[in-house]
Amino acid sequence: MFVVGGESLIDLVPVSSAPNAERLALPGGSPYNCAIALSKLGNETGFLCPISTDKYGDVLLGPLADAGVRVLLTERVEAPTTKAIVSFNEKMQASYVFERGADHAFSEAGLLAALPSAVTLYQIGGFSPILAEDAAIWMKVVEAARERGAVISFDINVRDKLVDDEAGYRHRLDGFLDAAHLIKLSEEDHAWLSPGSSIEDFAAALLDRPHCELVVVTLGEHGSRAFSRSAQAAAGIYAPPVFGDTVGAGDSLMAGILTRLHEIGALRAGGMAGLDANALAETLKFGAVVAGLNCAHKGCNPPSRAEVEAILVAH
């Protein structure tokens, strides 16, 4: 089973660019989105995050059930659902302000008990390093997943508006980066984490960490790049005929990359380090189609495997 651990939340998305525009309440959160995308692409997937008993918790559970994602923490919590207030720039790229709640209403014992006995992949949630007490618990989950056979992936997703202790956050982030076999980040993450360095140098530094074998960097409208210990490659975006917004695009791309790596037998410790340029490019292309199809909608709505295959055959 693929297991994604971390935050779920409600995105409060403006219906227009007008000041004080009405907002839609859409289910989201990077790990939540990725879990749904993975399952819709045909992977057995579990989601490890507390779900609130409030009305927004019901909203979150619906798409998980529709996609066939197994909710690993079955007992719901009283804490209110975490919310993200979304805004868009002129390129319709999203930014967020957060009100946290149920996403960190967990215990170490509860998370470890809910983790399946056999785990193919464990993905670390981007909120995991933000608070010291949460990070310590999530690191125990990462260690347990690795002991159960998991490859560890990490979509960094820096949320600087939630960081009130930058030095502590960076220290905790280092721990998760050291644990990961596959690390994904955006160009915005790179600019915040290592201003002034090149993407190539930053990727090389990540690959020098104890377990890292593959680094993927997303570049918005300019596509994505991948770096293994053997090669590097780049791919453009897939632009859908009708564009909605970019919410969940990176999460969908990550799900596509993980799916492709699994299918070519590379999603295992030692399996990604030797990927050549052709394999990296094909993996990025698959992820780009998944992300592009998601962008045909308002809010995160990852495609089915059949939808992805239809585009790949046509292109």
Write out pLDDT tens, residues 130-153.
Answer: 999 999 999 999 999 999 999 999
For tokens 């189609």, the residue is: 289
Q: Is the pLDDT of residue 247 over 70?
A: yes
* 99 in any annotated domain: no
Provide the pLDDT for residue 98. 85
Q: Is the pLDDT of residue 120 over 90?
A: yes
Write out pLDDT tens, residues 38-84.
Answer: 999 999 999 999 999 999 999 999 999 999 999 999 999 999 999 98
* 166, two tokens: 């930058």
* 177 in any annotated domain: yes
Q: Mean pLDDT over all residues of the chain?
A: 94
Write out pLDDT tens, residues 223-245.
Answer: 999 999 999 999 999 989 888 88
Domain CATH code at residue 303: 3.40.1190.20
Assign 177 a pLDDT band (cuts: 50, 70, 90): very high
Assign 16 a pLDDT band (cuts: 50, 70, 90): low
* 246 in any annotated domain: yes
* 211 in any annotated domain: yes
Sheet holding 121-124: strands in order across? 70-71, 45-48, 2-5, 121-124, 151-155, 182-186, 214-218, 224-228, 232-235
**Domain boundaries, position 191:** 2-8+29-77+107-314
* 102 in any annotated domain: no
Pairing of strands 83-88, 94-99: antiparallel
Q: How many domains does the chain have?
A: 1
